[in-house]
Structure formats: C-alpha cells, structure tokens
Amino acid sequence: MVLLFILLYVVEDLSQNDDRYGKFDISHVNKHLEWEIKKAGEHQQKYYRNYLEGIVGYSKKLELGDPARAILDFEDKY
C-alpha cells in the first residue's frame, strides 16, 4: 500500500465574482490574488516544516477557484 499525503490550499478566485457589490477595479483583485498565492505557498512551507518534514509521498497542491468546488473535484481525483 502506498500512502500519499497531499496538502491542498485553495485560493478563491475573486475575479469570477459578479457585480453584486458594484463595479470594482480588477487590477486590485489581481494584486490581491498574487499576494494570496504567495502567502499560500508560505503557509504550505510552514506547515510542512512543522508537521510533515521527512514524510515520503508528500505533495502540495495550490488551486485557484471556488474552494468548495476545488475540494470536491480534488476528492474525485484521489
């Protein structure tokens, strides 16, 4: 039996939201996504160092989209 440990972090894609709160500057959303993706990688590294270091079969995934949908799709894959 092969044990595979996958650490999934889903960044919500805010650019896909509708205009229910009015128009907004998409460049601000893109800057936020860049920041969020950077922070997600940092959180994954910190979690790995604190809890998973030395585990064989460890993999990390970073998804962009709707968190609930991404988790369900991920579950279907694995």
In angstroms, the first-to-last Cα distance of the chain is: 15
pTM above 0.75, yes or no: no
Q: How far apart are CA 42 and CA 60, in angstroms?
A: 12
Q: Indicate whether 12 pLDDT > 70.
A: yes
Mean pLDDT estimate for the chain: 81
Give per-residue pLDDT as tens, 36-66: 999 999 998 998 888 888 777 778 888 888 8
Segment 12-31 mean pLDDT? 72
d(CA 25, CA 6): 35
Instruction: Return the domain boundaries, the chain.
Output: 5-77
